[in-house]
Amino acid sequence: MTTTIRSHFDRELARLAEQMLELGSRARRAVADGVQAFARNDVDLAREVISADAPINQLRYQIEEACYQLLAMEQPVAGDLRTIVAALVICNELERIGDHGKKLARICLRSGSDIRPMPSDDIVRMGEVVLLMFDRMLAAMAHRDAAEARAVCQVDDQVDAHYKQLFNVTLSYMLENPRMIGAGTYRIQAAHELERVGDRVTNVGERLVYAVTGELTDLNA
């Protein structure tokens, strides 16, 4: 019979998991708001996203510090060690996802003055795919569901496909109308930020699988 002897450690691990989900939630909001800011040319929203980045970074460092302390104080092994080491990598990825949201907001501010904006429906659609992927991965984190994490990583192929299509469409626009080059460049940059979010969500999934199963593999080569 297993008795919970390390209750203090278990509470700390639970707190770590909560903080990770909080970080994920804020990063998700940064991406969602960044997409909206870019799509609607909403400079106020863009400035909010940029302001919200510093607290995201702060939370990331708090989590990192907590991990170092747990390693030193609790000498974890096996599943506990994998969970904490994975958390160190995942919190970095989540913070970077927040950065991509911030970059989307910055692109909005840079492109806002363009007098011939290009349609943004495909950016929004790509954003929806990426955010759904991210939502599923956050749920997998909450439930420590390695199978779901693996499944979500496969969706990155769709994200990449969206990016390629958007890139080609934008290129055509720019070739047909050189005055669209400015706006087109911003579109491609925005799509690239979303494509990177997909990659980072995959990285999160790989570490989640490692934490739960001990298996370290590339889940979307």
Partner 1 sequence: MPKIQVEHLNFHYGAKRALTDVTLAIPERKITALIGPSGCGKSTFLRCLNRMNDTIHGTRVEGRVLLDSQDLYAPGSDVVDLRRRVGMVFQRPNPFPQSVFDNVAFGPRVLGISSRHDLADIVKASLRSADLWDEVKNSLKKDALSFSLGQQQRLCIARVIAVKPEVILMDEPCSALDPISTLRVEDLMRELAREYTIVIVTHNMQQAARASDYTAMMMLTDDRKSGTVIEVGETKMVFTRPQDKRTEGYVTGRYG
Judged by CB, which is closer to partner 1: 75, or 113? 75
Strand residues in 79-148 grouped as ranges (E): none
Closer to partner 1 by CB, 5 or 221: give it.
5
- What are the CB-based long-range contacts (under 8 Å, 24+) for 179-184? 179/116, 180/116, 180/118, 182/111, 182/114, 183/111, 183/114, 183/116, 183/117, 183/118, 184/118
Q: How far is the CB of 13 from partner 1 (least distance, A)?
A: 11
What distance in Å separates the CA atoms of residue 182 and residue 118, rounded to the nearest whole number? Answer: 10
Q: Which is nearer to partner 1, 2 or 221 (CB)?
A: 2
User: Least distance from C-beta 5 to partner 1, angstroms?
Assistant: 6
Q: Which of 5, 72, 115, 221 binds partner 1 (CB under 8 A)?
A: 5
Give the x-and-dash track for 62-91 against partner 1 (CB under 8 A): -------------xxxxxxxx---------
Measured in whole angstroms, the distance separating CA 111 from the mean position of its chain's CA atoms is 23
Least separation in angstroms between CB 58 and partner 1? 31
CB-CB contact of 185 with 117 (8 Å): no
Q: Which of 116, 157, 168, 214 binds partner 1 (CB under 8 A)?
A: 214
Token pair of 125 as six digits:
């659609």
CB closer to partner 1, 157 vs 215: 215
Count CB neighbours of 11 within 10 A. Answer: 10
- Min dist CB 88 to partner 1, Å, is 15
* 4 lines the binding site for partner 1 (CB under 8 A): yes
Of the candidates 195, 100, 201, 197, the residue with the CA atom closest to the CA atom of residue 148: 201
Rounded distance, CA 43 to CA 123, Å?
17
Q: Which is nearer to partner 1, 119 or 214 (CB)?
A: 214
Q: Which residues bind partner 1 (CB under 8 A)?
A: 2-6, 9, 75-82, 214
